[in-house]
Chains A and B, each alone.
Chain A
């Protein structure tokens, strides 16, 4: 079974701090990785995609991928109260049409 695992949290950080979210996956055939943000009562919204080992930065967000360790992380710098949401990690295989989601990590940024 292809699994993506996340710490469900809740994770609380003070405003302005760095929030670190982690994800592991079981299928070594996974090629693409995604982080979605989901506000309460809303649909998942893509915030980052990463395909190669290393770091990928987009504004305050940095995704990190380590395929040898089967580990994906998301760093949120200068966390804002508006970042309070559930963050979903997802992986897909090379075919690109099957996606596997973690159960999400709830993040609260305290003003």
Chain B
């Protein structure tokens, strides 16, 4: 998984509780992303980061926040989890050194399966 670690890999939580998912990379890539994947919807971008403390919203950002205090870590927080946030969450990275082979390719972590009851 290209030096990308997601934790936890599985989580079950209750509606209304806060949840934080972590993505850690060892590749020193500039860009980091959080997607959710649901049947029939494919991969949908939640938030992404283009540098330390630089983040932007994706197409399904409502109910989610992110933080990136270090190049290697990108956190996704569900402030108050809802059943509609039950999904598989993938972290991805891109943006190695320009000119390097594959610099503009996106690589994915193993995913976190979240169930909100």
Contacts and interface: CB of A to CB of B under 8 A. Distances in A.
Interface string A85-101: 00010101000110101
Interface string B94-108: 110000001111111
Bin chain A's interface residue count.
Answer: 10 to 19
B109 A46 contact: no
B56 to A, nearest CB: 10
Contacts of B92: 99
Contact of B103 (A45, A96, A103): A96
Interface string A20-45: 00000000000010101000001111
Nearest to A92: B104
B43 interface: yes
Contacts of B33: 99
A49 interface: yes
Interface string A50-61: 000000000000
B106 A103 contact: no
Nearest to A104: B42
A43 B108 contact: yes
A93 B75 CA distance: 25
B90 interface: yes
